[in-house]
Every structure is written in C-alpha cells, then in structure tokens.
C-alpha cells in the first residue's frame, strides 16, 4: 500500500476523529497525534487502514456496534446535522421577523 497521510485516509472513509477512534479502538487524542505526525502510527493501525480502505463495509459494521451517536462518528452525518440545525434556526428567525412585521 502506498502510504497516505492519516487525515487523508480518515477523510476517504468519511469519518470524524471520534469515528476513527471508535473503529480502531484508540482514544481521540491518539488519533490527533497520528494526524499531526507527533506519534508514530503502529504497524497494526497501518494494516487496519489498508484493510478498511479495501472493505469499507466493515467500517459500517463496526460503527453499527458503537454506543456513540452516529453524527459523532461520520463526518457527513455531523455536517448534515449542522445544516439541519442551521436551517431550522433560519426558519424560526424568519418566522419571528414576519410576525414582528404584522
């Protein structure tokens, strides 16, 4: 496997740092060290990285066993939740403005 940066690998799997920590069974802080390059990534983690890139369905299986809420594990879900919250806020704000104008 051609070596790719840890953060690139994480983004290819559409995971947050918390999601990667959950999949690899590491603390989030350790994942941050891997991404910054301040700690060496263990060989077992590198093997896991290669395997999960080839078998993304395994990521889904592992995440389905997690007790954490999905929006903390998947980057796209977190972004989707943020967009939905912003949309609701805008709707409420606009509704209040319309009522004030009446």
- pTM value? 0.63
Closest CA to 48 of 59, 33, 61: 59
Q: Which residues contact 22 (CB under 8 A, 6 or more apart)?
A: 62, 63, 66, 68, 73
**pLDDT per residue as tens, the chain (102 positions):** 467 889 998 888 888 898 899 888 889 999 999 999 999 999 888 888 888 888 888 888 887 777 777 666 766 655 555 566 667 777 777 777 777 765
In whole angstroms, how far apart are CA 60 and each of 24, 26, 98?
Answer: 13, 17, 44
Strands (E), the chain: none
Spatial separation of the C-alpha atoms in residues 40 and 43, rounded to whole Å: 9
Give the chain's domains with CATH numbers.
6-101 (1.10.260)
């Amino acid at each position: 496997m051609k070596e790719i940066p840890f953060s690139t690998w994480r983004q290819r799997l559409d995971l947050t740092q918390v999601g990667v920590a959950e999949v690899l069974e590491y603390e989030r802080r350790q994942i941050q060290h891997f991404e910054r390059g301040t700690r060496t990534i263990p060989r077992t983690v590198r093997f896991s990285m290669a395997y999960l890139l080839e078998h993304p369905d395994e990521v889904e299986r592992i995440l389905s066993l997690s007790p954490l809420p999905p929006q903390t594990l998947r980057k796209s879900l977190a972004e989707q939740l943020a967009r939905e919250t912003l949309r609701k806020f805008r709707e409420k704000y606009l509704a209040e403005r319309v009522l004030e104008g009446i």
